[in-house]
Amino acid sequence: MQSLGAVLTALLAVDFGAAASRFKRNAALWGIVAVLLITAYVFALVAIALVLAEYYSPIIASVAIAVALLAVALMIVALMAVRNARDRRLVDERRRRSLLQTNLALAAATSILRKQPLIGVGTAIAVGLLLGLGKRRRRSDRR
């Protein structure tokens, strides 16, 4: 019988190998899809320019397409700015709530410590132990 470590290692190696080959295959296929979509976009723009050139001059058709694309790009930038500002407001609100909760906890702890000072000593010892002030160093660490 093989050891459990060898079996798990073999399973992990197979999973990583399969995931890597799947990632490479998907990356290649998505690259092909992206090239085809970009090509379709360019041909759609050319077709729109040709249709507009029948009614207006080719220069005006090109400028109209450029202005339309610029307007869409500016709208997307504005949308991104609005969403980023909203996300910043949400982060600030969470930070304020966290600070408020911390302040309320400190106020409650202060009032409890005034009424029962032994709890304060116990709390200080517990915090000290949690922070590692009570750890002793090994002899190998001192050298």
pLDDT at 100: 82
What pTM was computed for the model? 0.50
Q: What is the pLDDT of residues 74-101, one digit of tens each?
A: 999 999 999 999 999 999 999 898 888 7
Domain edges within the chain: 27-93
Q: How far, CA to CA in Å, does 26 sit from each of 31, 34, 48?
A: 8, 12, 32
